[in-house]
Amino acid sequence: MISVRNGHGDAFETKAVRTEALALHLPRRACVRLLAQPSVPVDLPVDPYVFGYWLGDGQSANGNICVGMQDYEHLRAELIKTLRAYEDLGEAHYWQNMMMLNIRRRPELCPKGHDRTDNPRFSKAGHPICRRCTNGKAKHLPTLMSLHERLKSVGVIKNKHIPDLYLHAGTHQRRALLQGLMDSDGHIDKAGRAGFTNTNRRIVDGFVFVARSLGYKPQVRQHNTSGWIVSFAVNSTAPIVRLERKAARVVVATSRQARMKYIRSVTELTPDGHDQSPIFRSVLEL
């Protein structure tokens, strides 16, 4: 579906046009409505909201997440929602007004899920030993992976970035990921626009990719002290954050400019191999 200026001032009409027709005669000022790219949910090792929050405010070497007191109750509730049967939430004071939260395997369980409460044993170095694992009968049991281990399985420990698995996850999963990133390192400015600040260029690039896939028009600029700032208008009512104090500041942009992208050019590409149907590439103005 595209919108075409109909020759009467600013009025646009919307119609379905084949890409082939677009290429033959590109209508002046044709534009497409920005929408979230639909895709089906995939299996993710870590909840996408928690993953986004960890990318923003988590410790790179493990699964710990630091949070200020004002957002502590919110984050705690979000993390508890995602706990697996064998997990609980570890909490510790970090420094000043900060708390450190971590999703961990319940301390009484060994990695194979045996309860060690009634039979605690420790190695000479002080590490807990599971009597039922040490007799070699637990090799076939699946390991109950901690958050740290699950983050490691997607290659992000000490290597923060958004892996392809998450970049191309389901629509709702990508939105949850963006919300986690926004709740940790994002802000809503005085005009109600969304902003995201980070010093890690790979996270910034991933953020931009995910934001575009959800129909936003993010712009990146470099900042002297805080790395990069991504900013964009919130062009739909779909929630961009979960934190109430940030959500209250959002102003939904309804202008055509915020909701549309203009088509700049459409080019025919040479079909490759056996597929004889013409292929077109359309270039959109950002």
Would you say 26 or 133 has its CB closer to Zn ion? 133
Q: How far is the CB of 117 from Zn ion (least distance, A)?
A: 12
CA distances from 214 to 14, 49, 167, 179, 182 (A): 21, 15, 11, 12, 14
Stretch that binds Zn ion, among 122-130, 154-162, 243-251, 253-261 (CB under 5 A): 122-130
Would you say 98 or 133 has its CB closer to Zn ion? 133
Q: How far is the CB of 54 from Zn ion (least distance, A)?
A: 28
Would you say 138 or 251 has its CB closer to Zn ion? 138
CA distances from 111 to 79, 122, 212, 257 (A): 21, 15, 40, 53
Candidates 44, 46, 75, 130: give the one binding Zn ion (CB under 5 A).
Answer: 130
Site for Zn ion in 218-257 (CB under 5 A): none
Would you say 5 or 116 has its CB closer to Zn ion? 116
State whether residue 59 is helix, strand or coil. coil
State whether residue 42 is helix, strand or coil. coil
102 within 8 A of 90, measured Cβ to Cβ? yes
Site for Zn ion in 89-118 (CB under 5 A): 110, 112, 114
Name every residue whose Cβ is closer than 8 Å to that of residue 151 and which is 6 or more positions away in sequence: 45, 46, 51, 54, 63, 157
Which residue's CB atom is positioned nearest to Zn ion? 130
State whether residue 17 is helix, strand or coil. coil
268 within 8 A of 24, measured Cβ to Cβ? no
For position 133 contacting Zn ion by CB under 5 A, the verdict is: yes
Rounded CA separation 259/190 (Å): 20
Would you say 112 or 168 has its CB closer to Zn ion? 112
Would you say 95 or 122 has its CB closer to Zn ion? 122
Site for Zn ion in 159-198 (CB under 5 A): none
Q: How far is the CB of 89 from Zn ion (least distance, A)?
A: 22
Rounded CA separation 106/109 (Å): 6
Which positions touch Zn ion (CB under 5 A)?
110, 112, 114, 130, 132-133
